[in-house]
Amino acid sequence: MPREQREDYEVGYGKPPRHTRFAKGQSGNPRGRPRGAKNFTTLLEEALNEAVTVTENGGRRKVSKRQAIVTQLVNRSATADFRAIKLLFEIVRENERHIEPASPETAEFSEADQRVIEQIRSRFSKGER
């Protein structure tokens, strides 16, 4: 770049010196998040899916930590542990909230529903004429 243009350039807010700017093709955050870095949700899922050995009815078997936690929570709730009961009900309520209702296309209509639908259709078809 000619010397005259360098001197005309005003350095200030939002205008860093040209020699300190990023070079073309250089990342603005070269030491940023590495590839394959896991977020909290991924780490939690992996930890809950790890297998542990449990003893039930005198036998040993492997289950996931998730399954072991749920089993312990239900067992504690069955022994009248009110904190465990409250936590279990909150989990069940949240789980039911995420369950999707049946789609209207697959729902069966009763005879009364069919009559109402036909009445509505007839009213709309009369209004079109």
Least confident of 37-51, 56-70, 109-123: 109-123
For residue 12, what are the β-bridge partners?
Answer: 15
| Backbone CA torsion sign across 119, 122, 123, 124 | positive
Domain assignment of residue 126, yes or no:
no
Domain count, the chain: 1
pLDDT for res 36: 85
Domain assignment of residue 2, yes or no:
no
- In this prediction, residue 86 has a pLDDT band, given cuts at 50, 70 and 90, of very high
Domain assignment of residue 76, yes or no:
yes
Q: Which domain holds residue 77?
A: 41-100
- 45 in Cβ contact with 32 (< 8 Å): no
The residue count for the chain: 129
Domain assignment of residue 56, yes or no:
yes
Domain assignment of residue 120, yes or no:
no
For residue 52, what are the β-bridge partners?
Answer: 63
The label of the residue with tokens 């780490």 reads 43
Domain assignment of residue 111, yes or no:
no
pLDDT higher than threshold 60 for residue 6: no
pLDDT higher than threshold 80 for residue 40: yes
Domain assignment of residue 106, yes or no:
no
Strand pairing report for 51-56 and 59-64:
antiparallel
| Residue in 53, 83, 85, 81 with CA at minimum distance from that of residue 68 | 53
Domain assignment of residue 28, yes or no:
no
Q: How many percent of the chain have pLDDT more than 70?
A: 86
